[in-house]
């Protein structure tokens, strides 16, 4: 056997081992995510709230309690998360929002939201359905349209 074929076989074996390891890690992460979703669903409650403001802020700058910031991993503390400032009853609270429903959250309107702790998982309009804002046109779409 030549050196080239030996090197290619070693690279192939390393790639196969890496794929197998990634497969099992993915399965483990999938089970963990399903378990977390069950916990969120068990603690969920529906609340009527007035949305004051929303935005993407760093975890430190959002105004969450210190226990929340300390419990997050260090590599995620500087990342920006969708944050909603809402009036729930007489209290003004800072809540974290699911990234999928964040664009549908209306500002300065009253909604019924399903929350689990400080995490908003679903939003419904009280006086009608919520509409997602229209998507912005990309650069190439603007050039083709005009």
Domain that holds residue 33: 1-42
Evaluate if pTM is beyond 0.75.
no
CA of 13: how far to CAs of 1, 2, 27, 33, in Å?
17, 17, 21, 30
Q: In the chain, at which residue ranges do the beta strands (DSSP E only) sit?
A: 45-58, 80-88, 91-97, 110-116, 119-125
Total structural domains in the chain? Answer: 2
33/65 same-domain check:
no
Q: Which residue is associated with the tokens 């809402």?
A: 86
In a domain, 136, yes or no: no
Amino acid 92: pLDDT = 92
> Mean pLDDT, to the nearest integer, of 26-48?
91
In a domain, 36, yes or no: yes
Q: Is residue 133 pLDDT above 80, yes or no?
A: no
Amino acid 138: pLDDT = 84
66/118 same-domain check:
yes
In a domain, 144, yes or no: no
If DSSP codes are grouped into helix, strand and coil, which group holds residue 3? helix
Q: What angle do CA 91, 94, 100 make, to 5 degrees?
A: 130
76/28 same-domain check:
no
Highest mean pLDDT among 30-34, 76-80, 99-103, 139-143: 30-34
35/58 same-domain check:
no
The CATH number given to whatever domain includes residue 51 is 2.40.50
CA of 92: how far to CAs of 52, 54, 82, in Å?
9, 13, 17
19/29 same-domain check:
yes
The pLDDT tens digits for 23-32 are: 999 999 999 9
Confidence at 19, pLDDT banded by 50, 70, 90: very high
């Amino acid at each position: 056997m030549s050196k080239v074929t030996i090197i290619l076989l070693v690279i192939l074996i390393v790639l196969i081992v890496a794929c197998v390891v990634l497969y099992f890690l993915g399965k483990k992460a999938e089970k963990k995510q399903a378990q977390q979703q069950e916990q969120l669903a068990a603690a969920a409650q529906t609340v009527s709230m007035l949305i004051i403001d929303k935005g993407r802020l760093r975890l430190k700058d959002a105004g969450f309690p210190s226990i929340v910031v300390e419990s997050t991993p260090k590599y995620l503390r500087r990342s920006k998360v969708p944050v909603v400032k809402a009036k729930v009853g007489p209290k003004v609270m800072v809540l974290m929002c699911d990234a999928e429903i964040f664009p549908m959250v209306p500002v300065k309107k009253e909604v019924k939201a399903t929350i689990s702790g400080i995490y908003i998982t679903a939003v419904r309009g009280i006086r009608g359905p919520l509409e997602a804002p229209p998507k912005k046109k990309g650069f190439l779409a603007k050039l083709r349209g005009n």
